Amino acid sequence: MENHRIRFAVPSDSEAILKIYAPYVRDTAVSFETEVPSVPDFAFRIASISEQYPYLVYQVDGVIVGYAYAARHRERAAYCYDAELSVYVSPEYHGSGAAHKLYACLLTLLQALGYRNVYAAYTVPNGKSAKFHQKFGFTEIGTHRKTGYKLGQWHDVCWLELAINEHSENPEPPKAVGELAEEFVNAVFSSALQEV
């Protein structure tokens, strides 16, 4: 029987994560990067993002088959209550539930950290991504037309949003992911793995 695990990513995971991400960069417009990052550059990204936000990996029998993370949505200070989500899974694990479980964990952790809104985007057309986000309650808020040029053509990007906490007056800034109790985090991961 396969052993499934969700955990926080660490910089030493960068090579394994890049094996998943590189084909999206090289061969598709799913990612708007045009050059595959180096392993050291990607390790730096993981370390930097992980200082504030959850960065997760999904393992099957010790092999990373998917990953997801939250990151800063916009630079200005008043946007600190928002996060932007990304998820990537190896093609052989599409439809396995790995992406759903990673996203469920991200949303629960971000809610506990005090984020108010989360955003996601996908290159159009992408019916699978649209349905995936609808299942989580995301609402489409607009499309950036011909906003990226890659692989010889212009691409549209659809943006979605989801409120995950109340928009109270005088909100406290969100906590950093390292402030979450280990027991809570482990319970979130365990609960997601038990979902059908």
Identify the CA nearest to 87 among candidates 121, 50, 42.
Answer: 121
User: Per-residue pLDDT averaged across 26-34, rounded?
Assistant: 96
For the chain, domains (ranges, CATH) are 4-194 (3.40.630.30)
- As a whole number of angstroms, the distance between CA 81 and CA 122 comes to 21
CA 157 from centroid of its chain's CA atoms: 16
For residue 2, the model assigns a pLDDT of 79
- Cα(126)–Cα(124) distance, rounded to whole angstroms? 5
Region at 62 (left for phi over 0; alpha for psi -120 to 50; beta for the rest)? left
pLDDT tens-digit series, residues 81-108: 999 999 999 999 999 999 999 999 999 9
Q: Is the dihedral of CA 10, 164, 119, 88 positive or negative?
A: positive
In which element (H, E) is residue 4 found?
strand 4-8
How many C-beta neighbours within 10 Å does residue 175 have? 13
90: closest CA among 62, 63, 109?
63
Which CA distances in Å does 122 have to 44, 78, 161?
24, 24, 12
Q: Tell me the pLDDT tens digit for each residue of 50-78.
A: 999 999 999 999 999 999 999 999 999 99
pLDDT at 1: 57
